[in-house]
């Protein structure tokens, strides 16, 4: 178990790690070891010694005085994710680790999915007696309406591997939430509860959002996948094949970095390995994450 905690005013944020991929360079193909080795501050936390990108899959539990929220629910156990072997039929201790951290699934008030990719919605449900049921039965599940419309319209006969996977993701991780009437699709920015609001950060997916946390004059942002890896602070134009709209994703990164650089806001990366969080600071004509 690799759980980090941060305090933002009266709010506690806990990292609940599901799995770490020490080498996952496919997420940003242009970030070759030769490129990575130019960015010294990435070592040793965010890349391997050889210069391969490391990626963490984790949830973030946001514990406020009025509500308990979980941001992104990882990959999940027992999922058919063929041919994506690294995420296929996992068997992790995610729920047990959540309970060990002091949180019960029944006590979660909100599930916030920054977007609806397979590694952000898996624990929305769990398998009970052969049926997928909501893991957090008392929660409202919030996600972007534009994401729901997009992924809900996938042709079941698609011959594209990733879309086939996302079709299965819909069936086992989204549709059961809709059937249980727990889904609360959102359109644009919105307040979730006191101290927590969603901000639009599109490009990776149409309805992608990030989470802004504010309490007692302190702030933090949970990124979601508008940024996959800290190397994109160094070069916002490094793109991922998993982005729906690369140009929009780059524009979103440039806008957000410009807004939050050299501010006291704690940036918590949804896929950042190691320390996972830091302050964004200007570094010459680019940025770096100061951990």
Topology (CATH) of 5-290:
Metallo-beta-lactamase; Chain A (3.60.15)
Helix (H) or strand (E) holding 219: strand 218-222
The percent of residues in the chain predicted with pLDDT above 90, rounded, is 96
CB-count burial class (<10 Å; 0-12, 13-18, 19+) for 52: middle
pLDDT in tens, 253-279: 999 999 999 999 999 999 999 999 999
**pLDDT per position as a tens digit, 80-133:** 999 999 999 999 999 999 999 999 999 999 999 999 999 999 999 999 999 999
Confidence tier at 157 by pLDDT (50, 70, 90) = confident
Res 1: pLDDT? 43
pLDDT digits (tens, 9 = 90+) for 23-74: 999 999 999 999 999 999 999 999 999 999 999 999 999 999 999 999 999 9
SS3 218: strand
């Amino acid at each position: 178990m690799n759980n980090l905690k941060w305090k933002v005013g009266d709010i506690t944020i806990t990292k609940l790690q599901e799995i770490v991929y020490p080498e996952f360079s496919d997420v940003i193909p242009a970030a070759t070891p030769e490129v990575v080795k130019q960015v010294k501050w990435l070592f040793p936390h965010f890349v391997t010694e050889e210069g391969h990108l490391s990626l963490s899959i984790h949830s973030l539990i946001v514990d406020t005085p009025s509500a308990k929220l979980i941001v992104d629910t990882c990959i999940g156990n027992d999922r058919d994710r063929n041919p994506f072997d690294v995420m296929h039929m996992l068997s992790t201790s995610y729920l047990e680790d959540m309970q060990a951290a002091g949180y019960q699934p029944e006590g979660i008030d909100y599930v916030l999915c920054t977007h609806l990719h397979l590694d952000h919605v898996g624990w929305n449900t769990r398998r009970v007696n052969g049926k997928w049921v909501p893991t957090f039965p008392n929660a409202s599940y919030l996600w972007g309406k534009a994401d729901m419309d997009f992924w809900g319209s996938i042709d079941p006969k698609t011959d594209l591997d990733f879309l086939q996977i996302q079709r299965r993701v819909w069936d086992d991780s989204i549709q059961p939430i809709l059937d249980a009437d727990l889904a609360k699709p959102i359109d644009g920015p919105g307040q979730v509860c006191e101290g927590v609001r969603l901000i639009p950060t599109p490009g990776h997916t149409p309805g992608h959002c990030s989470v802004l946390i504010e309490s007692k004059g302190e702030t933090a942002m949970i990124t979601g996948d508008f940024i996959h890896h800290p190397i994109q602070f160094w070069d916002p134009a490094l793109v991922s094949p998993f982005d729906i709209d690369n140009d929009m994703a780059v524009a979103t990164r440039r806008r957000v970095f410009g807004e939050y650089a050299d501010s006291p806001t704690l940036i918590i990366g949804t896929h950042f390995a190691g320390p996972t969080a830091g302050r964004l600071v200007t570094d010459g004509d680019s940025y770096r994450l100061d951990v």
